[in-house]
Amino acid sequence: MAPDHKTQKYDRQLRLWHAHGQAALEKAHVCLVNGTATGTEALKNLVLPGVGAFTVIDAAKVSPDDVGNNFFVTRAHLGQPRAKVVTALLQELNDDVLGHYIDSDITPFVAAHPRYFDRFSLVLVTGHVPAATLLALDRVCWPRGIPLLVVKTCGFVSTLRIVTRAHHIVESHPDTPVRDLRLADPFPELVAFVDTFKPFDDMTSAELTHVPYPVILLHLWREWRAQNQDTPAREFRKYVQAEKDRHAARLTEAALKSLDANQSDTAVASAAASAADMENWDEALKQAFLAYTPTSVPRNVKDVLEHAILDMSANADSADEHAPVTNNSVVANPVANVTAGCAWPPTFWALCAALKSFVAEHGRLPVRGSVPDMKADTATYVSLQRVYRDKAAADAADLHARARAIAVPVVATSTPTASSASLSRSSSVGPSPATSPGMAAADAASTTAPALQIEAATNIDLATVTEFARHAATLHVLSTPSLHDEYARAHPQWTRALNDDPGMLSIYVVLRAREVFYARQRRWPGAHAADADADTARLRSAARDVVKALVAGGGNALVMEAAEGGADAHAEAGIATPVAPVVDVDDWVQECVRAGPAELAAVAGYMGGVIAQEAIKLITAQYVPMMNTYVYDGIHSKSEVLKA
């Protein structure tokens, strides 16, 4: 059967994140704050693979600077609303994607309509946005678990800050494939399969050279351990080597004896080589450690199972596994610390709670069910696969029954009105919030917190559980500090780096200093060439204050102040003047003043790719995103991830 249109259209990316990842992407709604060159490049890389919808919030008009660096505007658009223009052109890239725009400045918009952001899977901020506005967005997105991506760009340098309260990953796609053969603690069905093989000494050359290496290891381990109770397990490999050599010699001798005395030397050599072709035994030798390395629950999975959410929920106390769960069957209220938003997906946490119960009873994770390639005859390999798949299916069924009896928090949301739906899903360009009935409905709802209910997770299907069980060993729940926390607290590890070798941290300091500069001057450094010298001095002073804030904390108050002034500004902001390291950031200060508010198309293109890559990781819950702050130096072609 020929693949359908969607499979043909998205064939390459389906190989990366598969059909369920594509489904998650198509359900996503991304908000872009400011249709800048960097923002549109990032959005382009989300529209092309088929993100469900996007909304651009931007009050700017298309300017000559935009025409010079943004491929999604032209001279014909000069003076038109930038949000409208880029939305229309981005939609031309993919008919499957819905695009909307709001012609409004983000600062008053987020203050007036905080609940409007509840509809978004992810919020991306680009352009020159005051830190006070970023902190306001952080206060909206962080409690709701909506990932916030903040991009700061100035000339040849840029940073990407990922802010997520809790990001869950089921498929992390590790570089080293997970081999889950359970040879150190084999399950009964695997032992029974191994016992169907006759003794190795009774096997012919064809038989012995096609025994799967898990069978070889389990068989030899039982023999060796029975005779070597007190010997360190690492010595087992020597026994595997000795047995391989013994059987190779036996098979070679048997092959030579079977030859006619008049055979040529070539025939003799060929027979000997064929008998000694023991690739499967070489595999067993390389994987000998699997026989004595116990299967354990990885640290990343323990962190998930020890999460505070799972401490607040319990299995239903019901004899019928399909019976609905009532509030009386919950030991503690599992929503005490849970707020609405995609950081707390009920299905994921129900499966984690079921997995915690499974591990508590069995002391292990579910069997993955996959068998790596190995030397074996087809019939034996298929039989071995069936053993593992049947065990994986049994474990998944066990996990499914547990998951269906878990009480989970569910956010009760009202059905959108027709006018609200038209704003959020159907129109190619959205109406102004000032005239939108849907916006009025969102504002009315903003005064009421989302209702949280306790419901049984009976709607989780077996296919979802099976996929979860297959990847149980690579589960992650990651989080980053909120922007408010990053700005407010001290950073001892960064202080040490500033004393030793600031490196890329210098770029971070200067871009933070630009925000302090704006708080004091109400404009960005380098906006006017005539003020270049004065701006350089002011930005250098702001950088010193940022370094002090990294040492002593209080950076959030620093960016909210309106008065200029070094140490006095710290005192006015309530920050004790600390003894801070002297950091030479003068080169970066001059670069930021020289560049002013300009964005370069080349840097925008590069950062657009990085941003979209991380956004897709967050939306699909696959692969591990760069947590915290990514710093890019386009002058020296270097990048680094800073962790707060």
Please give, one letter per residue, the 3-state secondary structure of 247-314: HHHHHHHHHHHCCCCCCCHHHHHHHHHHHCCCHHHHHHHHCHHHHCCCCCCCHHHHHHHCCHHHHCCC
Answer whether residue 558 is part of any domain.
Answer: yes
Specify the range with the lowest mean pLDDT, choosing from 162-176, 368-382, 478-492, 554-568: 554-568
Confidence class for position 583, pLDDT limits 50, 70, 90? confident
pLDDT of residue 195: 96
End-to-end Cα distance, the chain: 51
In sequence order, the β-bridge partners of residue 30 are 54, 122
Answer whether residue 402 is part of any domain.
Answer: yes
Nearest Cα to Cα of residue 112 among 53, 32, 55, 57:
57
| 274 pLDDT more than 80 | no
Confidence class for position 268, pLDDT limits 50, 70, 90? low
pLDDT of residue 495: 80
CA 109 to chain CA centroid, nearest Å: 29
> Are the C-beta atoms of 335 and 310 separated by less than 8 Å?
no
pLDDT of residue 559: 83
Query: 108 and 68 share a domain?
Result: yes
Query: 267 and 202 share a domain?
Result: yes
| Mean pLDDT of the residues in the chain | 83
- For 306, which DSSP code? T
The amino acid that residue 346 corresponds to is P
Mean pLDDT for 334-344 is: 39
pLDDT of residue 12: 87
Locate 385 and state its tokens: 């696969």
SS3 416: coil
Specify the range with the lowest mean pLDDT, choosing from 78-92, 98-112, 209-223, 562-576: 562-576
SS3 61: strand
Mean pLDDT for 417-430 is: 36
> Are the C-beta atoms of 40 and 85 separated by less than 8 Å?
no
Cα(14)–Cα(35) distance, integer angstroms: 28
Vertex 62 angle, CA 419 and 77, to 5°: 85
| 624 pLDDT more than 50 | yes
| 528 pLDDT more than 60 | yes
Query: 33 and 147 share a domain?
Result: yes
pLDDT of residue 563: 40
Q: pLDDT: is 126 or 441 the higher one?
A: 126
Q: How many CB atoms lie within 10 A of CB 90?
A: 23
Answer whether residue 133 is part of any domain.
Answer: yes
Mean pLDDT for 87-98 is: 95
Q: What percent of the chain has pLDDT over 90?
A: 62
> Are the C-beta atoms of 86 and 56 separated by less than 8 Å?
yes
CA 3 to chain CA centroid, nearest Å: 29
| 344 pLDDT more than 80 | no
Mean pLDDT for 272-297 is: 87
pLDDT of residue 503: 86
> Are the C-beta atoms of 288 and 236 separated by less than 8 Å?
yes
Mean pLDDT for 369-384 is: 95
Answer whether residue 446 is part of any domain.
Answer: no
pLDDT of residue 386: 97
Cα(37)–Cα(605) distance, integer angstroms: 8
Cα(315)–Cα(73) distance, integer angstroms: 56
Specify the range with the lowest mean pLDDT, choosing from 93-102, 273-282, 540-549: 273-282
Query: 114 and 25 share a domain?
Result: yes
Query: 169 and 202 share a domain?
Result: no
pLDDT of residue 162: 97
| 181 pLDDT more than 60 | yes
In sequence order, the β-bridge partners of residue 641 are 630
Confidence class for position 561, pLDDT limits 50, 70, 90? low
pLDDT of residue 625: 95
Locate 346 and state its tokens: 């009920």
pLDDT of residue 264: 64
Nearest Cα to Cα of residue 463 among 621, 351, 345, 310:
351
pLDDT of residue 237: 95
Query: 168 and 214 share a domain?
Result: no
Mean pLDDT for 244-255 is: 86
The amino acid that residue 121 corresponds to is S
Cα(285)–Cα(583) distance, integer angstroms: 55
What is the number of structural domains in the chain?
4
Q: What percent of the chain has pLDDT over 70?
A: 80
Cα(526)–Cα(115) distance, integer angstroms: 35
SS3 596: coil
CA 565 to chain CA centroid, nearest Å: 41
Answer whether residue 377 is part of any domain.
Answer: yes
Q: At 119, which CATH number?
A: 3.40.50.720
Query: 235 and 128 share a domain?
Result: no
Q: pLDDT: is 228 or 267 the higher one?
A: 228
Query: 384 and 257 share a domain?
Result: no
Q: How many CB atoms lie within 10 A of CB 616?
A: 24
Specify the range with the lowest mean pLDDT, choosing from 57-61, 347-351, 597-601: 347-351
| 135 pLDDT more than 70 | yes
Residue 591: give the domain boundaries: 483-566+576-595
Answer whether residue 179 is part of any domain.
Answer: no
Mean pLDDT for 149-162 is: 96
SS3 160: strand
Mean pLDDT for 172-195 is: 92
Mean pLDDT for 629-638 is: 95
Locate 344 and state its tokens: 């707390």
Query: 501 and 581 share a domain?
Result: yes
Q: How many CB atoms lie within 10 A of CB 635?
A: 12
In sequence order, the β-bridge partners of residue 159 are 152, 631
pLDDT of residue 361: 95
Locate 213 and state its tokens: 């290496």
Per residue in 590-616, pLDDT (tens digit) is 999 999 988 999 999 999 999 999 999
Cα(87)–Cα(56) distance, integer angstroms: 7
Answer whether residue 448 is part of any domain.
Answer: no
- For 158, which DSSP code? E
The amino acid that residue 584 corresponds to is D
| 455 pLDDT more than 60 | no
Looking only at Cα atoms, what is the longest distance across the chain?
A: 103
pLDDT of residue 417: 33
SS3 148: strand
Strand ranges for 19-147 from DSSP E: 29-33, 53-57, 98-102, 122-125
> Are the C-beta atoms of 365 and 355 separated by less than 8 Å?
yes
Query: 35 and 164 share a domain?
Result: yes
pLDDT of residue 305: 92
Locate 573 and state its tokens: 């902001």
Cα(272)–Cα(390) distance, integer angstroms: 39
Answer whether residue 438 is part of any domain.
Answer: no
Query: 25 and 164 share a domain?
Result: yes
Look at phi and psi of residue 526 and say left if phi exceeds 0, alpha if psi is from -120 to 50, else beta.
Answer: left
Per residue in 14-33, pLDDT (tens digit) is 889 988 899 999 999 999 99
Query: What is the DSSP track for 386-410?
Result: HHHHHHHHHHHHHHHHHHTTBEEEE
Per residue in 386-420, pLDDT (tens digit) is 999 999 999 999 999 998 887 655 544 333 333 33
Q: How many CB atoms lie within 10 A of CB 314?
A: 18
Cα(105)–Cα(35) distance, integer angstroms: 12
> Are the C-beta atoms of 187 and 391 separated by less than 8 Å?
yes
Specify the range with the lowest mean pLDDT, choosing from 122-126, 446-450, 558-562: 446-450
Tokens 């930005």 belong to 539
| 338 pLDDT more than 60 | no
pLDDT of residue 363: 94
Query: 235 and 111 share a domain?
Result: no
